[in-house]
A and B are shown apart, each in its own frame.
Chain A
């Protein structure tokens, strides 16, 4: 029982990180129907930005986080402008190939610029453990930081999407781009903001992963990026709470499978869950099933 609860805690922390990355996928997909495969590499970029801010400039956690978010937001907007915007009217598959191209570019550019070695992320928070429920559950400071930051980000995002003008514009554009444009919404700017916000959330995930697992390297974005995307699809792509649900679900199951079974099966599990869910609910857990009108 104790081991199970402990695995749940670890799983929730990992899941929070997936969820933060998944949010970016879901927002971008929701607005331009693009699977932005470069998103996982933005997360890597965020981790490195955090790493340099903390180790080279000796900044504390919050300023490093903000700097990393800003850098990734800019990178996201830049990618959108250079690689995706010219293809807005092209076949959708071309944009997908471009996204893969950007992803390869960031990964291999990262290998060149940052060198392929794994770097140790500096210790930011004291190594301390708190016991709850008479020692049944132990939370480290890192767990608390990850979970708190995720919740704060979720609240901020919810506020942004449902309470601000830009959020309203984002919802309008994702519902119907042409109609939104006719109603005076600046579609292009709104898409840029969506990329910026999604990328900033990936940056948060990157910094948190650095803190939680103590290491960063240029190819760290590939697998978590893919899993986060799976999480977004699992929850119902384009739906914000769905991304969080999917992320947590994958994080928890992976941790349980690695804890109780063979860790090699870990990567397969996320996909197995995905396929099962898609077969039962083709639009994801929280997605609405839509039938084409005849």
Chain B
């Protein structure tokens, strides 16, 4: 299968700190890839580099045949990458519907002048945006909450709304940053269904960061493990679970040495 995203020799320094060192990751078209690693390993930094929030120190990031480096976040979104944030960034004082409608703006069909005179093109374009938003909200079971303020939704629904909003930009690749954080087991179970649905039914390639091993091992086909800014392992869930380097990174060397307490 062809690769949708290729990260090659990616490095990022913050001042004197090397946050990422020579990272190589490929995500196939239609893939469902996970990125795991201890806190502070540099996982979110990879997302921030991909989406143009940061500029890499060196290396390249090819998405759909296009170099992502030196593009603004809004341009990256236009290329077809959408994301969610580790600590939910909804437009919390706006309605659920408006959150999704804002994300539809990228494909708006009328100009500023049309909007000022509220002409035919405006009416048609607004109708299209409304219908698309409602359709998405319906798929993600948020339709009857459309007039609710985003901040008043329960936590699990806020995460779901963030995914819905990201989808409104029509992405080819969806980056999910710890989508299950703070969810109870049942919500996580539902989330896993949603992610599978996105990939299988909507054809969206998924690249996700997650700490919940049940989720990662349950749905990802390929997993990358990041530790201290380096990829220390990659492979399918079974291979990762048995990789000694991964066990060491997560549990320390003591675990490998037969349970001796490391002083």
Contact = CB atoms under 8 A, between A and B. Distances in A.
Interface residues of B, number: 4
A294 interface: yes
B101 to A, nearest CB: 23
Interface string A250-294: 000000000000000000000000000000000000000000001
Contacts of A294: 44, 48, 53, 85
A14 B85 CA distance: 50
A294 B85 CA distance: 8
A37 to B, nearest CB: 28
Contacts of B85: 294
Nearest to A292: B53
B214 to A, nearest CB: 27
Contacts, number: 4
Interface string B35-70: 000000000100010000100000000000000000
Contacts of B44: 294
Interface in B15-49: 44, 48
B119 to A, nearest CB: 35
A294 B44 CA distance: 9
A294 B52 CA distance: 11
B237 to A, nearest CB: 29
Nearest to B44: A294
A58 to B, nearest CB: 60
Nearest to B51: A294
Contacts of B48: 294
A28 B109 CA distance: 48
B77 to A, nearest CB: 14
B166 to A, nearest CB: 15
Contacts of B53: 294
B92 to A, nearest CB: 15
A294 B48 CA distance: 8
A31 B161 CA distance: 37
A82 to B, nearest CB: 30
A154 B186 CA distance: 62
A47 to B, nearest CB: 45
A291 to B, nearest CB: 9
A43 to B, nearest CB: 39
Nearest to B53: A294
A294 B53 CA distance: 8
A294 to B, nearest CB: 5
Interface string A21-64: 00000000000000000000000000000000000000000000
A294 B50 CA distance: 13
A50 B214 CA distance: 74
A269 B53 CA distance: 36
A294 B88 CA distance: 10
B188 to A, nearest CB: 24
A294 B45 CA distance: 9
B85 to A, nearest CB: 7
A294 B177 CA distance: 11
B74 to A, nearest CB: 14
A73 to B, nearest CB: 40
**A-B pairs with the 4 shortest C-beta distances?**
A294-B53, A294-B48, A294-B85, A294-B44
4 contacts: A294-B44, A294-B48, A294-B53, A294-B85
